[in-house]
Amino acid sequence: MSDKSADSGQHALRERLKTLVEGISKTLEAGEYVDSAVTDTLVSTLQQYKERTGGNDMLHALLNPDADSAQASMLPRKDGLLDHVTFPPFRDLSDHYDPSLLYHKWSGRDTLTHARHWCFLATITSVITFPRTIAFCTTMYGEKTQVPFYPEDKQDERDLHNLTPRMRPGTTLAILYAERKQFFDGSAGIRVETPRVCMVFDQPLNELVATASTLMARADGTETPAQKERHIPLGNGERDLLLSLAGLSRRTAKEFRKCVGWTNLPPFRLRK
């Protein structure tokens, strides 16, 4: 392939990327849902660009929010809990058996590791504790799903024991690095083996979204008159935790882990 043809191909890919990013940005600005097919197209186009250019700077910057690069701003996201990428719907979660490259990256030839932070959010509608603890939830998009817990050791069992009383109907369940999984009975849900990746807030999700927006506006000094008058029905500990969660896409892994006190939790679970 001639240099002229190569440059022409790279230019076409850059223009396609620009069009995709602008389209996603307009969708988010309108407060609408970004279809997973669009984000998949964005990722595949980025991969093509990487192969054409022989470099991964753009791919890394777009997929890694911790990247110290001006290119990182190319990936449009709403702030706070309305960030569709950091807080995806259930159907857009990375699949346990087919990990999404929007949330993972290759480390070596056959190992995937997390490329970014993400968190699943849903309002709990009911909970059962026998034969195992399962939380049934509804997302802000109306999706209904289940979250069964499979503690792996004594520490996990203690963590689940402390978490279970807080999981009541009407509260919000937050699960970091959640993956969609198909179970043997044909149903789908999120299998949780380490309860430490879960948080429970004493508000339904629709109210929690508004609370998080208010807390972030106060932290940034950009409150509206309505936000200044808004009562925050959370204790100081929950407020700090919610503010850390809402700013998930802004933080590095080290900063976030320090905020939530997870100094002893491995930063990423490798998959081979």
DSSP state of 34: P
Reading the block at residue 2, the tokens are 């001639």
Whether the CB-CB separation of 56 and 50 falls below 8 Å is answered with yes
Q: Which helix (H) or strand (E) holds 119?
A: strand 119-128
DSSP state of 192: B
Q: pLDDT tens, 173-211?
A: 999 999 999 998 889 999 999 998 899 999 999 999 988
Nearest to 178 by CA among 135, 239, 214: 135
Q: What is the dihedral of CA 38, 119, 111, 99, to 10 degrees?
A: -40
Q: What is the dihedral of CA 241, 243, 244, 249, to 10 degrees?
A: 150
Reading the block at residue 263, the tokens are 């100094």
pLDDT score of 50 more than 80: no
% of the chain with per-residue pLDDT over 90? 29
The CA distance from 142 to 229, in Å, is 29
**In this predicted structure, which of 78-92, 151-165, 231-245, 253-267 has the lowest mean pLDDT?**
253-267
* pTM attached to this predicted model: 0.67
Pairing of strands 104-106, 144-148: unpaired
Q: Would you place residue 16 in the very low, low, confident or very high pLDDT band (cuts 50, 70, 90)?
A: confident
The CA distance from 123 to 136, in Å, is 9
Q: Would you place residue 26 in the very low, low, confident or very high pLDDT band (cuts 50, 70, 90)?
A: confident
